């Protein structure tokens, strides 16, 4: 599947035949006639319809739009209104984009404003090629795409592996105080993301002079920044979270209605594709090894090798915990001092 498949509508939007009564109510007899195709497009997409702009410029047809737009689910209508209000108040608008379903939904909510939109994406220095391709497809559609880099790949090539549960003997300080021959160091995933993702992204956002930052953050997500839509940071930037009150199902239904195919990693239980060689965030990467094997076989071999190194260190800590709890007997001096 090409990235084009991911970003551009790939099927006719699933659209139930509008009840005759609603269609009749939406197009009053006194108004000029519009074709059924145009009516359906407006009915399904509202402001995202390619016909919307010409209708919205004024004239008799614009009177049709309020009733036609009632067809969108309430969360979508509320978010479109929130986006429209924010766009009217701000001039430098940034979408922080990951390539996952939530940021894709935001991109589509912002469709009427693509000519004003900067899309910022963090490659962290170790991107999946399909995400690079996706951004290349978005680039001509919006005002600009800005790639923020990082050193995740160099980090990992130096033998610094991000992990969820850090065995401290494997940290940089642990390696210093407990000399070992292991040619790798473990780092907390949050330290790794701070260095290679969050800080570079924050600096680029600040340097870009944006006054509105849009993110695909939802309250129903397990991991999210601790603020709400409308928050203003110390630099005076307003944060717009148009999906804040959406469920995962709302996002999937919206993308389906927009005719946007989910990126292929969703079939593997993955969400956004972050760093190709990342060995952390395992709670959401159970299908990563299988995905890598199917699409990036060389990376799959290296990914598995690193996971096994991490597993060995974590199992030692797990055994020591069981000895400390008296669940197992120590073997070969484990749990005993010098
Ligand atoms: S996604 Fe993984 S490898 Fe990439 S910056 Fe975050 S912790 Fe590091």
The pLDDT of residue 184 = 87
Match domain 72-324 to its CATH number in 3.30.1280.10, 3.40.50.620, 3.10.105.10, 3.30.360.10. Answer: 3.40.50.620
Nearest to 296 by CA among 288, 308, 305: 288
Q: Between these two residues, 259 and 22, which has the higher pLDDT value?
A: 259
Residue 127, pLDDT above cutoff 80: yes
Q: Lowest-confidence range among 59-73, 288-302, 323-337?
A: 59-73
d(CA 103, CA 241): 10
- The residue-averaged pLDDT of 52-75 equals 60
d(CA 120, CA 144): 8
Nearest to 313 by CA among 178, 182, 193: 182
d(CA 238, CA 90): 9
Please spell the DSSP secondary structure of 58-103, one letter per residue: SSGGGGGHHHHHTTS-HHHHHHHHHHHHHHHH-SSEEEEE-SSHHH
d(CA 217, CA 228): 9
Q: Between these two residues, 223 and 295, which has the higher pLDDT value?
A: 295
The pLDDT of residue 46 = 61
Whole-number mean pLDDT of the chain?
85
Residue 89, pLDDT above cutoff 90: yes
Q: Lowest-confidence range among 38-42, 51-55, 116-120, 265-269?
A: 38-42
Q: Lowest-confidence range among 18-27, 98-107, 124-133?
A: 18-27
Q: Are 336 and 330 in contact (CB under 8 A)?
A: yes
State residue 144 phi and psi, 5-degree precision.
-165, 155
Q: Is the CB of 273 under 6 A from ligand 1?
A: no
Q: Lowest-confidence range among 49-63, 261-275, 322-336?
A: 49-63
Q: Is the CB of 121 under 6 A from ligand 1?
A: no
Which atom of ligand 1 lies closest to the CA of 279? 2
d(CA 62, CA 153): 52
Maximum pairwise Cα distance, the chain? 94
User: pLDDT per residue over 164-199, tens digit each?
Assistant: 999 998 898 888 888 776 888 999 999 999 999 999
- The residue-averaged pLDDT of 196-205 equals 96
The pLDDT of residue 20 = 34
Exposure string of 33-50, with b = 16+ CB inside 10 Å and e = fewer, is ebeeebbbbbbbbbbbbe
Residue 23, pLDDT above cutoff 70: no
Q: Is the CB of 258 under 6 A from ligand 1?
A: no
**Nearest protein CA to atom 6 of ligand 1, as residue:** 193
Q: Lowest-confidence range among 38-42, 146-150, 215-219?
A: 38-42
Q: Is the CB of 153 under 6 A from ligand 1?
A: no
Question: Separation of 210 CA from ligand 1 center, angstroms?
Answer: 25
Q: If DSSP codes are grouped into helix, strand and coil, which group holds residue 146?
A: strand
Which atom of ligand 1 lies closest to the CA of 275? 4
**Nearest protein CA to atom 5 of ligand 1, as residue:** 193
Which of 98, 154, 162 is the best mutation target for the ligand 1 pocket, counting ligand atoms within 8 Å of the beta carbon and taking the most? 162
The pLDDT of residue 31 = 41
Q: Are 177 and 168 in contact (CB under 8 A)?
A: no
Give the start-to-end residue ranges of the domains of the chain. 23-71, 72-324
State residue 256 phi and psi, 5-degree precision.
-65, -45
**Nearest protein CA to atom 4 of ligand 1, as residue:** 275
The pLDDT of residue 312 = 94
Q: Is the CB of 280 under 6 A from ligand 1?
A: yes
Residue 323, pLDDT above cutoff 80: yes
Question: Separation of 12 CA from ligand 1 center, angstroms?
Answer: 37
- The residue-averaged pLDDT of 202-214 equals 97
- The residue-averaged pLDDT of 329-335 equals 87
The pLDDT of residue 228 = 93
Question: Which residues, 6 or more positions from 298, have their beta carbon under 8 angstroms from its beta carbon?
Answer: none
Q: Is the CB of 161 under 6 A from ligand 1?
A: no
Q: Between these two residues, 58 and 327, which has the higher pLDDT value?
A: 327
Helix (H) / strand (E) containing 188: strand 185-188
Residue 14, pLDDT above cutoff 80: no
Q: Between these two residues, 30 and 91, which has the higher pLDDT value?
A: 91
Which atom of ligand 1 lies closest to the CA of 195? 5
Question: Separation of 225 CA from ligand 1 center, angstroms?
Answer: 17
- Long-range contacts from 82-88, C-beta under 8 angstroms, 24+ separation: 82/229, 82/240, 82/242, 83/109, 83/110, 83/113, 83/214, 83/240, 83/242, 84/47, 86/212, 86/214, 86/238, 86/240, 87/113, 87/116, 87/212
């Amino acid at each position: 599947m090409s990235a084009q498949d991911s970003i551009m509508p790939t099927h006719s939007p699933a659209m139930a035949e509008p009840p005759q009564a609603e269609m009749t109510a939406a197009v009053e007899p006194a108004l000029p006639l519009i074709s059924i195709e145009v009516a359906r497009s407006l009915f399904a997409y509202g402001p995202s319809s390619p016909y919307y702009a010409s209708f919205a410029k004024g004239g008799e047809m614009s009177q049709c739009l309020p009733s036609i737009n009632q067809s969108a689910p309430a969360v979508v209508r509320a978010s479109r209104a929130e986006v429209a209000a924010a766009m009217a108040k701000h001039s430098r608008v940034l979408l922080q984009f990951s390539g996952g379903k939530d940021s894709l939904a935001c991109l589509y909510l912002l469709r009427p404003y693509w000519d004003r939109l900067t899309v910022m994406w963090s490659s962290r220095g170790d991107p999946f090629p399909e995400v690079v391709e996706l951004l290349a497809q978005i680039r001509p559609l919006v005002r600009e795409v800005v790639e923020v880099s990082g050193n995740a790949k160099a980090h990992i090539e130096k033998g610094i592996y991000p992990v969820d549960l850090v065995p401290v003997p494997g940290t940089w300080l642990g390696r210093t105080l407990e000399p070992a021959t292991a040619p790798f160091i473990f780092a907390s995933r949050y330290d790794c993301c701070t260095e290679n993702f969050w800080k570079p992204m924050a600096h680029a956002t600040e340097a870009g002079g944006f006054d509105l930052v849009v993110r695909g953050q939802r309250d129903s997500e397990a991991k999210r920044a601790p603020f709400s839509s409308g928050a203003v940071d110390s630099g005076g930037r307003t944060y717009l979270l148009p999906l804040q009150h959406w469920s995962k199902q709302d996002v999937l239904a919206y993308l389906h209605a927009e005719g946007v195919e989910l990126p292929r990693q969703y079939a593997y239980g993955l969400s956004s594709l972050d760093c190709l060689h990342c060995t952390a965030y395992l709670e959401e990467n159970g299908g990563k090894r299988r995905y890598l094997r199917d699409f990036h076989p060389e990376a799959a071999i290296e990914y598995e090798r690193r996971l096994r190194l991490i597993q060995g260190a974590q199992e030692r800590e797990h055994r020591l915990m069981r000895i400390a709890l008296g669940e197992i007997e120590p073997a070969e001096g484990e749990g005993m001092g010098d």
